[in-house]
Amino acid sequence: MRTVRELEELRGIIAGWRAEGARVALVPTMGALHAGHMALIETARRGGTKVVASIFVNPRQFGPSEDLSRYPRREAADARLLTEHGCDLLWAPGVETMYPDGFATSISVSGVSDGLDGAARPGHFDGVATVVAKLFNQVRPDIACFGEKDFQQLAVIRRLVIDLDMDIEILGVPTQRDDDGLALSSRNIYLDEGERARAVALPRALGIAARAIGRGEDVGAVLADAGTTLTAAGFAVDYVELVDAESLAPNPAADRPRRLLAAARMGATRLIDNIPVE
């Protein structure tokens, strides 16, 4: 697998693939790769597609008090994992390539970006939408794969692609979990042993709440119970919310696809998770 850092070289390689009639899939990441990312690579590879993974820790999606400087960076190990899983090319631009001097554009996807993590992390989804639009323009993929774990991010990207007439198929890939149910995340490595043990309360509380809502119990009471359970487990809860699975609007009708989303901090580590309500 080749690692490429210059846009001209990337475009040359992809033009060569296109000349051979290949389809191209993109898996955008910020590195610190784990089995969740490898599920994205496996999905991207289906049908003999050429697979580009990008690693770029995007400063524009981190708030001033967030973990940009300590975000795990381990490109050599990531590159080995990508090679083992059949990725064809690693696109790893530097900040100066992505945001050269004078860079002045920001993409804002209103509506789906506004609540939940958009409210808790102002500007976060503008940073995501801007970098993803750039990655799409750089790689020009036919397909791009994103994890359902970042459910709101996936909704923002689907809206971006529709609104800007980007001819890219967006594939959402189900969340990969540890044996006890905790969603895989690059940030899980921040958790110490005790925090990791308590963190399992997050998927468990979501599972209990989703089943109760599915049985028709009072949504407000169920969400309040989930918040209480998480607090008792040591989480500081940002939100536990039931939303429409497509628009992410609150208070969805029971006959619509619904999704339960939560964000909560365990010590210094902010975790997110979500689950469908059947």
Of residues 49, 113, 138, 153, which one binds ligand PAF by CB under 6 A?
153
Which residues have CB under 8 Å from 238's CB, separation 6+? Answer: 120, 262, 263, 264, 265, 270
Q: Minimal CA–CA distance to 255: which of 214, 198, 225, 212? A: 214
Q: Can you tell me whether residue 244 is helix, strand or coil?
A: strand
- Give the shortest CB-53-to-ligand PAF separation in angstroms: 10
Which CB, 61 or 188, lies closer to ligand PAF? 61
Using DSSP, state whether 201 is helix, strand or coil. helix
Q: How many CB atoms lie within 10 A of CB 185?
A: 23
Q: 37 catalytic, yes or no?
A: yes
- Contact string 18-37 vs ligand PAF (x = CB under 6 A): ----------xxx-------
Among 128, 133, 144, 206, binds ligand PAF (CB under 6 A): 128
- Rounded to 10 deg, the angle between the 35-45 and 75-84 helix axes is 40
The answer to whether residue 109 forms part of the interface with ligand PAF (CB under 6 A) is: no
Q: Any binding-site annotation on 38?
A: no
Does residue 166 have a known ligand-binding role?
no
* Rounded Cα gap, residues 226 and 209, in angstroms: 6
Q: Which stretch binds ligand PAF (CB under 6 A): 87-95, 127-135, 174-182, 193-201?
A: 127-135
Q: Which value, in Å, is the radius of gyration of the alpha carbons in the chain?
A: 19
Footprint (CB under 6 A) of ligand PAF, residues 40-79? 58, 61
Taking residue 249's Cβ as centre, other Cβ atoms within 10 Å add up to 14
Which of 30, 68, 65, 237 lies closest to 153, judged by CA? 30
For position 155 contacting ligand PAF by CB under 6 A, the verdict is no
Among 28, 29, 37, 160, the active-site one is 37
> Is 150 a residue that touches ligand PAF (CB under 6 A)?
yes
Q: For ligand PAF, which is the closer residue by CB, 87 or 242? A: 87
Q: Which residues are annotated as a binding site for beta-alanine?
A: 61
- Residues at the contact surface with ligand PAF, assessed by CB under 6 A: 28-30, 58, 61, 128, 131-132, 150, 153
Q: Which residues carry out catalysis?
A: 37
Q: Which residues are annotated as a binding site?
A: 30-37, 61, 147-150, 153, 184-187
